[in-house]
Structure 1
Amino acid sequence: MIVCLLLAAGCSKQLTEDPRGLVGGSQALSSVAGLESALTGAYGSLMVPWNSGFTTVSQIAMTMGADDLTTHSGSNKEEFREFDRFNVSSLNSRMNPIWLGCYKTIQSTTNIINNYEQVQDGTTATVNAIVGEASFLRALCYYWLTRLWGEVPVIPSENYTPDLLTLGKSAPAEVYKLIEEDLKRAEEMVPDKKRDPGRPGKGAVKALLADVYLTEAGWPLKDQSKYALAAAKAKEVIDNKTTYNFELYQDDYLKIFAGGTTEDVFTLFTRGQWSTYNSFYGLSTMPENEGGWSDFFPELKFFRNYPAGKRKDATFSTQFVVKGDTISWQETTTGHPYYKKFTIQSGAKDVYMSNNPVIMIRYAHVLLIYAEAQARATGTPDAQAYAAVNAVRLRAGLDVLPEGLSGNDFAAAVVQERAWEFAGEWNRWFDLVRLEQVEAANQDKDQGDLKPTTAITKKQYWMPIPGADAIVNPNL
């Protein structure tokens, strides 16, 4: 519960803390060591196995309303099916890791942002880097929260007060205002190069801000002036990719998802140990025939429409070895192909603990943000917009887009390219929401896929507030 997040003790049933990085309030932030410790806690809250953050299958489950993801029609997947069929209960536990992880990180980063000026040691550059990273993480968390839940509480302080028991929800416009403020602060304070793998440099901040602008141009804010800002900010990253050490990775496409390539813009790196590991690679994305869990896999129509070529071959698993024999995807228990990009590439594959990364932003995102935003902002795609989307298509083994497309047709082609490029990577849902295409994407489904239980409305674009919080605070 939010109140639990702002208390230093209690709620032991809900919060299983990793003591590393815990800082006891603003008084502990009088040194650079204290700031670093609080920042470690902020990162850590996004990577607590099965409890908080993005290392579980939660973000995949919560974006199953898109046309690139579905789940088992039976088995123990009821909570997954709720998202795919648009009847999500407030008690669905798959929401908790994102909700909890984001608010725990918000608590830690707010502590840093509100109190860093009392630090007496260290260099200005070091302090700025820490505060910039904290600002980036807080913006990232509020961005995920408002895209998934819409109206969400904004925590004003790292300290507990009784008012938090009745804290109300803020409208998306208010949340986005804070997100922009945080990212502009981060843009000024973080260095060009990331301090370590798994941290944001200036290029990552600009990339996230470009993505935020692109989202603000669509539903629910519909501020179309943001398209020009999205294009301009993405262009800053593209024009300075050498400075930021970004590039579209041209070797084996599958290697991107093992992390550590030049395509990484912002990535959460795990250790594959009890303290932090990735649990949505491996068993989660394997069919039961191979001993897997069949948590998620692509919808059939999406798979069949996906353009043939080396990217498709690297994205999907279509053959499986069962007791020494090879079977096709049609012969699996679910009758679906699976996502190869989330298989474990080295070592045992049939495990739920891996050191695979959680890739939050790729350089391909930046290229496609620019291409779409530039076309929508001006009405005519320019040469750099064509170059951006065509770079992604050529790597996939596809032809370039035809010249002379209208702004609308070009933007639609880029959105479709985003669907193919980021298949299964929880991006498609957010595109469908901002473009108000959720309803259309859920029509004419294959008979082998799950269907919505009711007519889809805008109300279902957002998730219900997790029940435990709603019980404690009636204003939620």
Structure 2
Amino acid sequence: MKLIKNIARLSLLCLAMPLIVSCVDLDENPPSDLSPQNFYTSESEYNAALTGIIKALYSDWSGFDYGYDLILASGAEDIRSDADLFKNFDRLVPNDRELVIHDFWMKCYQAISNANTLISKLQNAKDVPAEKLDALEGQARFLRAFTYFYLVRFFGPVQVTTYENQNNIETVKQSSVAEVYDAILEDLSIAEVKLPLSFAEKGRPTRGAAKTLMAKVYLTMTGWPLNDKSYYVLARDKAAEVMDEKYGYDLEDDFADLWKQANKLKSKEFIFTFYGSVAEDGVAGSHMDLATRYFGNGEGGWGDYFSETRFFDVFPEGPRKDATFTSVFADGTTFTEAGVEPFIAKYRDGGRRVNTSSEGFRPILRFADVLLIYAEAANYVNNGPDQAALDAFDRVYKRGRGESSPYTLRTSQNEFDRAVLEERAWEFACEGDRWHDLVRREMVVTANAERLPNVKETARLLPKPGTEIIPGILDQNEY
């Protein structure tokens, strides 16, 4: 808990330092003589502070730059690791001393602390246009909501902090899951109003990103642990808003194009993306390309995490499967000939690299997610799939398989529901969504029954870092 408190106290100091951004053109550096007393007055200083929020999530090997969110989600069938640092998550036996848990938790609360500070200091602005302040607040609120969304799904009840109480976190009692979601939705409801439709710079959260994340939050709230099915209506309606042509989102014709460096800044499917930078080695570069490549057979990676043969074997054939997995290595051998599991192909194209950092990118919210959220929610609300739900589903289904014929086995609500859930597994394989789908649909035990027959329902939540536990303030999960 002392570490969280120190993070909060250092927020102003850290945000007053030169920052290297993890997304394009958010790289304005504050003057070197800034202090908490004179910081947060100009637009450039606020932009530097915004960069500090993103930098907390995408830097230093313990966030989205290295796929720590994927490691925490590796209890699903699509991701696996045998590395000593990661294997307990794949085997669903993590403990409260895991370095991955500790570091991810700290990075999340650093981002939250930075967002709290930025939001609270907007009132100090001098000569900053109102629309600029709105955009800054919207981005900070989106990123804070985004961070809490990961915390509540991985850890359940957590502390919701503000600028006023974050220096006294030892007295801030954890909020219930419902209360955390209330805080998330409050931030997103403000963000969707204050954010513009687009920015000149890529990597900034937009109005469409806020609405998409809100739809995803609503969908999650329909399942475990809240199990409030009334949110299906809100999930459907919010997804429908994002499907409006004015936002300009669409599916790429070729699934493989999503993962190419040449397309990363112009994809019509990306709604919110982290972009790696090699402007300064090790600060905000991506490590995903090396982490997900095999270390042998000419691949030159680290082999930290990969997929599973059992998942690969049932994956529908087509261009999506070819773009999701590396089944043939650089020297021409197959993964079966090498005696290993299939590796993840989505992050192979890291672009320019400086030492171990690359210009790789992480699509976090894609338009395909919007379509499948709509299909799942509309199917529930209408007691079966209407034509709009079928059309949304078919767009993803047909692209993934390279087929022109629509899916036909959808005569009932339950059949279509299963089809959508399976399609989510294929479409977002190795992107971290499968684990969260298993949790919200209470399928962790059944999905792992064959390989982990002794797994318990308590595996749905990860243990919180033991160093942060204060009984009655922040309580440990059962694990």
TM-score, length of structure 1 as denominator length = 0.88
Q: Indicate yes or no: 2:268 matched with 1:266.
A: no
Q: Which residue of 1 aligns with 2:219?
A: 214
Q: Which residue of 2 aligns with 1:448?
A: none
For 2:140 and 2:15, the matched residues in 1 are separated by 22
Alpha-carbon shift at residue 466 of structure 1 (Å): 1.4
For 1:17 and 1:284, the matched residues in 2 are separated by 34
Q: Which residue of 2 aligns with 1:410?
A: 416
Query: Does the 8 A contact of 2:54 with 2:111 survive in 1?
Result: yes
Structure 1 portions without partners, runs of 5+: 446-450
Partner of residue 385 from structure 1, selected from 382, 385, 389: 389
Partner of residue 367 from structure 1, selected from 371, 378, 386: 371
SS at match of 1:268: strand
Q: What aligned pairs does 1:123-134 form with structure 2 within 5 A after superposition?
A: 123-134=129-140
CA gap 1:145/1:356 in 2 versus in 1, 3 angstroms: same
Alpha-carbon shift at residue 250 of structure 1 (Å): 1.0
Partner of residue 335 from structure 2, selected from 329, 350, 362: 329
What code does the residue aligned with 1:223 have? D
For 2:230 and 2:255, the matched residues in 1 are separated by 38
Q: What aligned pairs does 1:71-470 form with structure 2 within 5 A after superposition?
A: 71-72=81-82, 77-157=83-163, 161=167, 163-240=168-245, 243-251=246-254, 253-256=256-259, 258=261, 259-260=264-265, 261-272=267-278, 273-274=280-281, 275-290=283-298, 291-322=300-331, 326-333=332-339, 335-344=340-349, 346=351, 352-396=356-400, 397-398=402-403, 399-402=405-408, 405-445=411-451, 451=452, 454-457=454-457, 459-470=458-469
Q: Which residue of 2 aligns with 1:69?
A: 79
Structure 2 portions without partners, runs of 5+: 20-28
**Mean Cα deviation higher: 146-155 or 335-344:** 335-344
Deviation track 1:324-375 (CA, whole Å, cap 9, x = no partner) reads xx22211224x21111112126567x97421011111011111111111111
Alpha-carbon shift at residue 472 of structure 1 (Å): 11
For 1:58 and 1:17, the matched residues in 2 are separated by 27
**Mean Cα deviation higher: 268-277 or 403-412:** 403-412
TM-score, length of structure 2 as denominator length = 0.88
Deviation track 1:170-217 (CA, whole Å, cap 9, x = no partner) reads 111000000000000001100111342001111111000000000011
For 2:44 and 2:431, the matched residues in 1 are separated by 35
Identity %: 33
For 1:347 and 1:34, the matched residues in 2 are separated by 29
Query: Does the 8 A contact of 2:137 with 2:191 survive in 1?
Result: yes
SS at match of 1:265: strand
Q: RMSD between aligned alpha carbons?
A: 2.6
For 1:80 and 1:262, the matched residues in 2 are separated by 34
Q: Which residue of 1 aligns with 2:24?
A: none
Task: Count residues with an aligned counterpart.
Answer: 453
CA gap 1:306/1:184 in 2 versus in 1, 3 angstroms: same
Alpha-carbon shift at residue 263 of structure 1 (Å): 1.0
CA gap 1:351/1:224 in 2 versus in 1, 3 angstroms: farther
Query: Does the 8 A contact of 2:15 with 2:48 survive in 1?
Result: no
For 1:30 and 1:16, the matched residues in 2 are separated by 13
For 2:295 and 2:59, the matched residues in 1 are separated by 25
Q: What aligned pairs does 1:54-65 form with structure 2 within 5 A after superposition?
A: 54-65=64-75
For 1:149 and 1:220, the matched residues in 2 are separated by 12
